[in-house]
Amino acid sequence: MIRRGRTEGWLKQPIDTLPTWATFHGVAFNGVKIGPLPGFEERGSTVIADTDLEGGKVEPLLVIPKELIISRQNIEMFARADRHLREVLEALGDFGRTTRGTKDVGVLNPLTEYIKFLPDELLPTFWSEEEQELLSGTTLRPAVRAKLNSLLREFETLRTATESIGWCARYWWDEDTGMVTFEDWMRVDAMYRSRALEFPGAGDCMMPCVDMANHASGEGTAAIYETDSDGNGLLLLREGKKIAAGGEITITYGDEKGACENIFSYGFLEDAVTSAKVMFLDLDIPDDDPLRPAKIFVSTAAPGFRIFEKKDHIEWESDFIWLVVINEEDGLDFRVRQTIDGKREIQAFWKEQELDTVKLREHLQEDQAWDIYRLRAMVLLQQRVETQIETLQGTQSELREASIREGPWKLAVQLRQLELEMLEHTFNTLERQKLSLLESEAVQRYLGMATNEVDEEVDFS
Ligand SMILES: C[S@@+](CC[C@H](N)C(=O)[O-])C[C@H]1O[C@@H](n2cnc3c(N)ncnc32)[C@H](O)[C@@H]1O
């Protein structure tokens, strides 16, 4: 439907007509305009200073009436006056009670007009199979796959929940008269993902006009966004920040976000980016671990680990890995028990005490073998990092095929390089930490005991 609307023109408006929409709906512009920045047109529209501005000496640059903000609260309010929206929300149950779940429900209000100004972002969910292949070995590849799967599931939820509502069946799902397709769901997801901002007190929101601001990190960020005491949205120039007429008013989409997340959610990397910053790598429990099925059953943590930069060094964190590195000899046990309603459940025990796996790290930290568990974790992480390096190196394409667009190609090349550098850095960091742990008394004692008893090299994995 969206593609058709764009092609036929009924779901498209040129950005230079945005001021008319904005004035009509009470948006205040103070010293700024919206449009493409000369020389940077490929970044779409942005907020531009119309006159010389200095933070602290100017009014809020944009004031957005609270009724125009797409927040969970406002959607519930719209639904009170809109039977169709209410029917859909009720049919969707919990899913309809999120900002995300209700974003594409069409009701005639100012926002159905605003959507016409939004560009179609080339996020990786829209890259071709061949373009997505370029991401092999990067952390973005599984993220995009998982996203496409969850979008499919969401779309099915939306369809099954609403196909018995007469007007939905007719206008959305009917083979002849229905217009909604999975591609539409992908497109609204991309709009939401690339434009939603988190507002203190209001949660994730889409805020018309403020969402036209492009991103710049660090000192480059020109403005901040917030809500006033009445709930209206504000774009404010940072205190002391000077922007000359014609200059860009940027905000930050989150300086802490890594390269993978930036491409995933916004489809670009800042020119000055020099590091992948944050990476999440999956981790499996080895097949030869006899407790593997029980561990998978009880674990509530994401199966992997995060590596991230902190100042000039690399750190890692994982709630999952601790369950992977301990076994029965250490004191881990599982028992099956029956619940009140007759169901069977597996309960984990650590040294005879019931174990809440979320707290496992705390228990291990108090254990005299803590250094040994840490060493095992590091060995495992290092192996996983090494495999990732090999996959990245083994899947590098040298030449851009004609069918691959320049944007995805450039981003994939950049991401591969940044992630490779970060992985190599991580590998070396883990090597140093491993060597220093080997010196620890607990490890020395364990190694001594192990070599005496079994007279063979200890396998920490
Ligand atoms: C919240 S929207 C900003 C407004 C958008 N440019 C438009 O035309 O509607 C976010 C999108 O703007 C673009 N963008 C924002 N900051 C950028 C930057 N520093 N470099 C390149 N593209 C940027 C990306 O396409 C991103 O997905």
Instruction: Specify if 269 maps to a domain.
Output: no
The one-character DSSP state at 226 is: E
Tokens of 452: 């005496």
Residue 221 Cα to ligand 1 midpoint, Å, equals: 14
Confirm whether 355 is domain-assigned: no
Instruction: Please classify residue 9 by burial: count the beta carbons closer than 10 Å to its beta carbon, then call 0-12 exposed, 13-18 middle and 19+ buried.
Output: exposed
Looking at 202, 230, 258, which one is the last position of a domain? 258
CA distances from 366 to 167, 209, 445 (A): 61, 52, 17
pLDDT at 81: 82
Cα dihedral sign, 259-278-99-250: negative
**CA dihedral for 431, 432, 438, 442, sign (positive or negative):** negative
Q: Is the predicted pLDDT of residue 59 greater than 90, yes or no?
A: yes
Same domain, 319 and 440: yes
Identity of residue 312: D
Give the end-to-end CA distance of the chain in Å, rounded to a whole number.
53
Q: Check whether residue 292 and residue 422 sit in a common domain.
A: yes
Tell me, yes or no, whether 376 lies in a domain. yes
Mean pLDDT of all residues in 219-237: 95
- Residue where a domain stops, chosen among 232, 258, 284: 258
- Ligand 1 pocket, 116 CB below 6 A? no
Q: Which atom of ligand 1 is nearest to 117's Cα? A: 9
Q: Measured between alpha carbons, how far is 257 from 244 in angstroms, rounded to an integer?
A: 29
Long-range contacts of 32-41 (CB under 8 A, 24+ apart): 32/61, 32/62, 32/235, 32/249, 34/209, 34/212, 37/214, 37/248, 38/246, 40/248
Can you tell me the distance from the alpha carbon of 370 to that of 437, in angstroms, rounded to the nearest whole number?
11
Q: Does residue 102 carry a pLDDT above 50?
A: no
Mean pLDDT of 351-368: 92
pLDDT, the chain, mean: 91
What ipTM was predicted for this assembly? 0.99
The pair phi, psi for residue 5, each rounded to 5°, is: -60, -40
pLDDT in tens, 34-58: 999 999 999 999 999 999 999 999 9
Q: Kindly report the pTM of this predicted structure.
A: 0.90
Predicted confidence at residue 117, as pLDDT, reads 93
**Which secondary-structure segment (H or E) carries 382?**
helix 370-394
Average pLDDT over residues 17-21: 94
Of 115, 266, 269, 271, which is best to mutate to test ligand 1, by the most ligand atoms within 8 angstroms of its C-beta? 266
Among 258, 287, 312, residue at a domain's last position: 258
What is the per-residue pLDDT across 279-307, written as a single tens digit (0 to 9) for each? 999 999 999 999 999 999 999 999 999 99
pLDDT at 393: 95
Whether residue 97 is predicted with pLDDT greater than 70 in this model: the reply is no
CA distance 149 to 129: 15
Nearest alpha carbon to residue 278 among 250, 255, 300: 255
For ligand 1, atom 10: residue with the closest CA: 194
For residue 250, report the distance from its CA to the centre of ligand 1, in Å.
10
Residue with CA closest to ligand 1 atom 4: 212
pLDDT for 85 equals: 86
Same domain for 254 and 376, yes or no, is no
Q: Are residues 151 and 89 in the same domain?
A: yes
Q: 125 CB less than 6 Å from ligand 1?
A: no
> What spacing in Å lies between the alpha carbon of 263 and ligand 1's midpoint?
11
What is the token pair recorded at 448?
Answer: 């001594």
Is residue 180, in this structure, part of any structural domain at all? Answer: yes
Q: Is 138 in the pocket of ligand 1 (CB under 6 A)?
A: no
Q: With respect to residue 185, please indicate whether it lies within any of the assigned structural domains.
A: yes
pLDDT tens, 185-218? 999 999 999 999 988 767 889 999 999 999 999 9
Same domain as 312, residue 228: no
pLDDT at 460: 56
Region 388-417: mean pLDDT is 94
Residue 108 pLDDT: 56
- What local confidence, expressed as pLDDT, does residue 457 receive? 53
What is the rounded (10 degree) CA torsion for 76, 77, 78, 84?
Answer: 50
Q: Is 153 part of any domain?
A: yes
Orientation of helix 83-92 relative to helix 72-81, angle to 10°: 130
Q: What is the pLDDT of residue 105?
A: 46
Rounded Cα gap, residues 234 and 230, in angstroms: 11
Q: Residue 428's pLDDT is what?
A: 97
Give me the residue label for tokens 């609403």. 162
Predicted confidence band of residue 272 (pLDDT cuts 50, 70, 90): confident
- Would you place residue 111 in the very low, low, confident or very high pLDDT band (cuts 50, 70, 90)? confident
Residue 355 CA, ligand 1 centroid: distance in Å: 46
Atom number, ligand 1, closest to the C-alpha of residue 15: 8
Q: What is the pLDDT of residue 450?
A: 58
Tokens 């796959």, residue located:
145
- For range 318-339, the mean pLDDT: 93
| pLDDT per position as a tens digit, 114-125 | 999 999 999 999
pLDDT at 164 (0 to 100): 93
Ligand 1 centroid–CA 255 distance in Å is: 15
Element (H, E) at 333: strand 332-338
Domain annotation covers residue 65: yes
Atom index in ligand 1 nearest the CA of residue 215 equals: 16
Q: What is the C-alpha separation between 61 and 342, in angstroms, rounded?
A: 62
Q: What would the pLDDT profile of 26-35 be if each residue is shown by its tens digit?
A: 999 999 999 9
Give the Å distance between the CA of 268 and the centre of ligand 1.
Answer: 8
Judgement on whether residues 247 and 291 belong to the same structural domain of the protein: no
Residue 45 CA, closest ligand 1 atom number: 8
pLDDT of residue 440: 87
Q: By alpha-carbon position, which residue is closest to atom 13 of ligand 1?
A: 43
Count: domains in the chain: 2
Residue 132 Cβ contacting ligand 1 at under 6 Å: no
Q: Is residue 251 domain-shared with residue 312, that is, in the same domain?
A: no
Strands 223-227 and 28-29: unpaired
Q: At 354, is the pLDDT very low, low, confident or very high (cuts 50, 70, 90)?
A: very high
Q: Are 377 and 325 in contact (CB under 8 A)?
A: yes
Q: Which domain holds residue 112?
A: 2-258
CATH of the domain at 284: 3.90.1420
Name the amino acid, one letter, at 437. Answer: L
460: CA distance to ligand 1 center in Å?
Answer: 47
Question: Measured from the CB, is residue 214 less than 6 Å from ligand 1?
Answer: yes
Query: pLDDT by residue (tens digit) across 132-187?
Result: 999 999 999 999 999 999 999 999 999 999 999 999 999 999 999 999 999 999 99
Q: Where is mean pLDDT largest: 72-81, 333-342, 351-360?
A: 351-360
Specify whether 319 is located in the same domain as 397.
yes
Q: Are residues 281 and 250 in the same domain?
A: no
Q: What is the mean pLDDT of residues 102-106?
A: 46
pLDDT at 93 over 90: no
Same-domain pairing of 194 and 92: yes
> From CA 60, how far away is CA 65, in angstroms rounded?
13
Same domain, yes or no: 247 and 286: no
342 in a domain, yes or no? no
242 and 296 fall within a common domain: no
Residue 7 maps to which CATH number? Answer: 3.90.1410.10
